[in-house]
């Protein structure tokens, strides 16, 4: 039988700490959010080098441990270049708007239970609200304005396209993320982060609300503009995306905002679905695993597990096409979220009426919904492959298909990329110069072979 401590934070404790304790906790959160990106950047470069059979950074410091610090100093000492045609106030304000909300969102994340600090009983959490998770959702949404304004204020085409992509991306995946939160609210009966963690003292919501967890994990990768969803800064098509015209510390602020956002969404996933600071099995069978300062270790390990997933995805998956990315958000994540919310609400109603089968019902419904979605995706993939093979066969026989019809990328005056199934015409070969002798042609061929 699992023995757990009942030493949960009392909501009445928040707001009554002495000023020096509030300042100390705020400083601890800030230092944690500054140091974690430095370590995460180094870990990302090391792990991806290992995945790609490379060495990675190994020159600065022992084993390359000071590489992130050296990169930060290098960015700070670089000359800050401001292009001539920018909207200067907004151009300078955009990196700050992108970075500050990432720090603000961590104010309601619980690190651990109540502890005693210099004789004062306090929770390892800066503050809590009755609508704490909605506060995180609102603050992280404000951070995206930094990306949008950076693209608009740069006065350049490609940053503007990156800002527009970011707008559509946030609208699409913010809805799916909010719907995954709604299932947690319904089941836990509270929007307080400390209350949600307390409700997972016996079983984590990753098991009871598996579809919500999968939807949130997908949405959080899209929200942080990380591969394979890093379309606002796609180097292959947008040069560098929304931060093309930024340099020095202004560029460093965007990099810091990206990694702090990764830590924030990972901490929120830990809080909502992995039991927060609760110890994992089998450590939770020890009575002291969830008391004192030890829960901070469990919380940090879970956050780093999500950070490793971010790195893993970047080193494994290629960037999605923009239409694939938007289809996933609007046609898969949002409809599945709505269906799952209805299921969770129904189970919650039976639970309120005193029925005891609700855990089995939730797990069964979650697994069934996941299998149905996988079957639909598999059927859609097979249909697309069959259609592509049919179009290819008809194009060889001269049929009227998008692949067979000629495609002119400059027909409307702008260079337009081909749609799926369309191909740009192959340019004709350069004819061989008239008068070339057979001997010279043979000599050229022999030279090329050599």
DSSP category for residue 241: G
- Give pLDDT, residue 329: 84
Region for 30 from its dihedrals, namely left if φ exceeds 0, alpha if ψ lies in -120 to 50, beta otherwise: alpha
pLDDT for 7 equals 47
Per-10-residue mean pLDDT, the chain, length 450: 44 74 91 92 92 89 89 87 86 90 90 85 86 88 86 86 83 88 89 90 88 90 84 77 86 89 93 91 81 90 94 87 83 89 88 80 85 79 69 56 62 70 67 51 44
For the four alpha carbons of 241, 246, 251 and 257, in that order, the dihedral sign comes to negative
**Residue 386: what pLDDT?**
73
| pLDDT confidence of residue 425 | 67
N- to C-terminal Cα distance for the chain? 76
Q: CA–CA distance from 108 to each of 102, 176, 240, 270, 271 (Å)?
A: 12, 21, 33, 13, 10
Please give the Cα distance from 149 to 8 (Å, whole number): 42
C-alpha 105/C-alpha 142 separation (Å) is: 10
């Amino acid at each position: 039988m699992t023995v757990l401590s009942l030493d949960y934070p009392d909501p009445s404790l928040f707001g009554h700490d002495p000023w020096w304790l509030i300042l100390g906790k705020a400083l601890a959160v800030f230092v944690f959010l500054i140091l974690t990106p430095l370590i995460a950047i180094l870990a990302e470069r090391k792990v991806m080098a290992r995945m790609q059979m490379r060495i990675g950074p190994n020159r600065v410091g022992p084993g390359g441990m000071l590489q992130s610090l050296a990169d930060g100093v290098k960015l700070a000492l670089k000359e800050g270049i401001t292009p001539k045609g920018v909207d200067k106030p907004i151009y300078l304000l955009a990196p700050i708007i992108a970075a500050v909300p990432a720090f603000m969102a961590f104010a309601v994340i619980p690190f651990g239970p109540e502890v005693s600090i210099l004789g004062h009983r306090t929770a390892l959490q800066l503050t809590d609200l009755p609508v704490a998770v909605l506060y995180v959702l609102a603050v992280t949404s404000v951070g995206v304005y930094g990306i949008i304004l950076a693209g608009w204020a740069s006065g350049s085409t490609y940053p503007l396209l990156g800002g527009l992509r970011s707008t559509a991306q946030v609208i699409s995946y913010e809805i799916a993320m909010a719907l995954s939160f709604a299932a947690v609210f319904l089941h836990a009966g509270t929007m307080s982060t400390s209350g949600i963690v307390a409700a997972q003292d016996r079983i984590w919501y990753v098991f009871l609300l598996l579809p919500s967890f999968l939807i949130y994990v997908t949405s959080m990768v899209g929200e942080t503009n990380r591969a394979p969803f890093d379309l606002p800064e796609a180097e292959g098509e947008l040069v560098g995306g929304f931060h093309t015209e930024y340099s020095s510390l202004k560029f460093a602020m965007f990099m810091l905002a990206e990694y702090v956002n990764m830590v924030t969404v990972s901490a929120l996933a830990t809080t909502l679905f992995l039991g927060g600071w609760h110890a994992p099995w089998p450590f939770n069978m020890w009575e002291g695993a969830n008391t004192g300062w030890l829960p901070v270790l469990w919380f940090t390990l879970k956050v780093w597990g999500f950070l490793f997933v971010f790195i893993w995805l970047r080193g494994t998956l290629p960037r999605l096409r923009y239409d694939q990315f938007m289809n996933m958000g609007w046609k898969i994540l949002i409809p599945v979220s709505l269906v799952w919310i209805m299921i969770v609400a129904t189970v919650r109603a039976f639970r309120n009426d005193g029925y005891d089968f609700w855990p089995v019902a939730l797990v069964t419904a979650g697994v069934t919904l996941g299998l149905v979605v996988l079957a639909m995706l598999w059927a859609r993939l097979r249909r697309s492959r069959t259609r592509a093979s049919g179009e290819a066969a008809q194009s060889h026989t001269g049929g009227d298909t998008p692949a067979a019809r000629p495609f002119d990328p400059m027909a409307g005056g702008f260079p337009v990329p081909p749609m799926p199934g369309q191909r740009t015409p192959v340019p004709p070969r350069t004819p061989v110069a008239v008068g070339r002798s057979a001997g010279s042609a043979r000599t050229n061929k022999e030279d090329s072979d050599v």
